[in-house]
Chains A and B, each alone.
Chain A
């Protein structure tokens, strides 16, 4: 098995798919800060977030060979797994997290060790999300980071339950168009 450093996502996931730990190591080095930041935001607990982070990379070790290079980016695939596992942990009832609306507001932050070639960039995403109508922005964050149902989001944001999904879909459409522009 090769153990030379793997330098890009595609090569890293392919290496992991061949059973080369250097592939996972490379993905970890590239994405652990992002994934860990998300896990902490969802769980509000550093130690649980670290457990989830490790579990996700172990899961990647067993699934990497199934990755479709024509599909979504490796970053998104990792985030799908991370969010699912973190929300499962949150719903298991072992996390005593309380989140207020204020907690969902974040100032501009730019990671100092992130690849500037990532698209969209963190700065771009923050600018686009901040331009969304405040209720859409809150709904998006409550869904993404807390995994709330439309009923609960509707109650928190004082929007009819039946409108929550369409508001989120509209927010996503706005974001997609902004990133494509």
Chain B
């Protein structure tokens, strides 16, 4: 028997969900995606309760600090928790990786408009590389004996099938898969690439 949307939302409000319901709510939380118009309506009803409050303006410094965090050299730091998870490193290491993005030295010109920088190496067969690529360029492909996972920090990438991925998205590229990442117009791309050698499997 399927759960009535209102029952799912009551469980969400109470933090009392079965495993499959938890997956459902986590999915909504991740992207806002809903299964049906009824589910959307029930979710809207839940959060209409927020309107049963007095709207209050936060201090002006909150806005100033927020916008400062989203521009300039700090703009990528909000990603540090997710970068730490991506690289399986601690928060301090992720912070260090992200702050190297704007360093002027330490970059290698991979092709016209594309620069790379190794940020973690020597960990068995795993390497982490930062790529800065101008709009209109194509990201370099690792060797055929390498699988890769990308974490986009800035800009947008268009793949062979015209799907577009943006900041915060992780793209898995298994060994032997076909892909071509072209940087969309509008902004330089900053991408973290985790690549793994598969010498025995190649």
**Chain B binds chain A:** yes
B193 within 8 A of A: no
Q: A36 vs B61: C-alpha distance in the bound complex, in angstroms? A: 14
CB-defined interface of A58-90 with B at 8 Å, one 1/0 digit per residue? 110111111110111111110111011000000
Residues from chain A with a CB closer than 8 A to the CB of B187 are 1, 18-20
A165 within 8 A of B: yes
Provided the pairs A33-B57, A73-B44, A175-B48 are in contact, do residues A58 and B168 lie with their beta carbons within 8 angstroms? Answer: no
Q: A24 vs B78: C-alpha distance in the bound complex, in angstroms? A: 13
Of the candidates A20, A41, A62, A71, the one whose C-beta lies within 8 Å of that of B33 is: A71
Residues from chain A with a CB closer than 8 A to the CB of B34 are 70-72
- Interface residues of B toward A: which range? 35 or more
Q: How far is the CB of A113 from chain B (nearest CB, A)?
A: 7
Residues from chain A with a CB closer than 8 A to the CB of B47 are 75-76, 79-80, 83
Q: How many A residues, CB 8 Å from partner?
A: 80
CB-defined interface of B42-61 with A at 8 Å, one 1/0 digit per residue? 11111111111111111100
Residues of A within 8 A of B (CB): 1-2, 17-21, 24-25, 28, 32-34, 36-38, 40-41, 49-50, 53-54, 57-59, 61-68, 70-77, 79-81, 83-84, 106, 109, 111, 113-114, 120-122, 125-126, 128-129, 140-141, 143-145, 147-150, 153, 164-166, 168-170, 172-173, 175-176, 179-180
Closest to B9 in A: A172
Contact present for B40 and A58 (CB under 8 Å): no
